[in-house]
Amino acid sequence: MDGNGRWAKERNLPRVAGHRAGVKTVKTIVQTAIETGIPYLTLYAFSQENWKRPKEEVSLLMELLDYFIDHEIRSLKKEGVSFRTIGHIEALPPHTLEKVRQAVASTAENRKLILTIALNYGARTEILDAVRKLLREAEQNPAGGNGSHPLDEQKFSSCLYTAGVPDPDLLIRTSGEMRLSNFLLWQLSYSEIYITRKYWPDFGKADFLKAIREYARRERRFGDVRAL
Ligand code: FPP
């Protein structure tokens, strides 16, 4: 969800105004995903590196998350959305953490749309956490017997924060940046990438549908010579 700051700067507004406008886009995109029948949507809201931003901006981002949960979760729950997170959420301010946990718990049974918000997320840390988990398992079960699954891609994926969620078909990055920015590095191996110059606050329903249409035209070969 990139470009909030530049969107605000172009309007001579403080950066936080860009983030506020960004929340409206979050609502639009989540709603469009529900209407379109997209089963999984993952939004990169706050990276591990984002703590380096000015304290006021970080606080405002947390407040916007509080606001989103306070104002949206009830209706999202009714619409069948499961609200989940990836990342080290325990570092969030305590009252935000509490809201996040309640939102996750209260929507856990839903299946229409799995909405995952990356919060204090970093893909390299996620991969290291998976390795640590595997090492712990190996320590507890040194012979590798006792029903332990051999280490293959499926097993490794099951140790990531996104366990149970399929790898993304499509990665959309707004604001024209050509980077992955430490996002889902393992999971994006075969994803289609769509980059738009539009800033996140300007990215609307029509833009999202355009990205999906473009994705539908892509030929995915997964290394084969034929499309699958
Ligand atoms: C990147 O734009 C955006 C962020 C770091 C924050 C995204 C957060 C929200 C849209 C609001 C909170 C989220 C939810 C789910 C309610 P940037 O600030 O890096 O923009 P710039 O590159 O133009 O400076």
> Does the residue 221 lie in any domain?
no
Is residue 3 in contact with ligand 1, taking CB distance under 6 Å?
yes
Instruction: Compute the distance from residue 4 Cα to the ligand 1 centre, in Å.
Output: 5
pLDDT at 223: 83
Q: What is the rounded CA–CA span in Å between residue 156 and residue 169?
A: 19
Q: What is the rounded CA–CA span in Å between residue 3 and residue 18?
A: 8
Is residue 72 in contact with ligand 1, taking CB distance under 6 Å?
no
Task: State pLDDT tens for residues 166-197.
Answer: 999 999 999 999 999 999 999 999 999 999 99
> Does the residue 128 lie in any domain?
yes
pLDDT at 147: 63
Burial-class residue 122 by CB neighbours within 10 Å (0-12, 13-18, 19+). Answer: buried
> Does the residue 182 lie in any domain?
yes
> Does the residue 226 lie in any domain?
no
Instruction: Compute the distance from residue 19 Cα to the ligand 1 centre, in Å.
Output: 5
Task: State pLDDT tens for residues 45-55.
Answer: 999 999 999 99
Instruction: Compute the distance from residue 224 Cα to the ligand 1 centre, in Å.
Output: 37
Task: Point out the residues of the chain with pLDDT beneath 50.
Answer: none
Is residue 84 in contact with ligand 1, taking CB distance under 6 Å?
no
Query: How many domains are there within the chain?
Result: 1
CATH number of 118's domain: 3.40.1180.10
> Does the residue 225 lie in any domain?
no
Cα atoms in the Cβ-side hemisphere of radius 13 Å centred on 58: 14
Burial readout 159-179 (b: 16 or more C-beta within 10 A, e: otherwise): bbbbeebeebebbbbbbeeee
> Does the residue 211 lie in any domain?
yes
Ligand 1 atom nearest the C-alpha of 177 is 22
Q: Which residue in this structure is represented by tokens 């499509």?
A: 170
Q: Is 2 a catalytic residue?
A: yes
Residue 203 belongs to domain spanning:
4-216
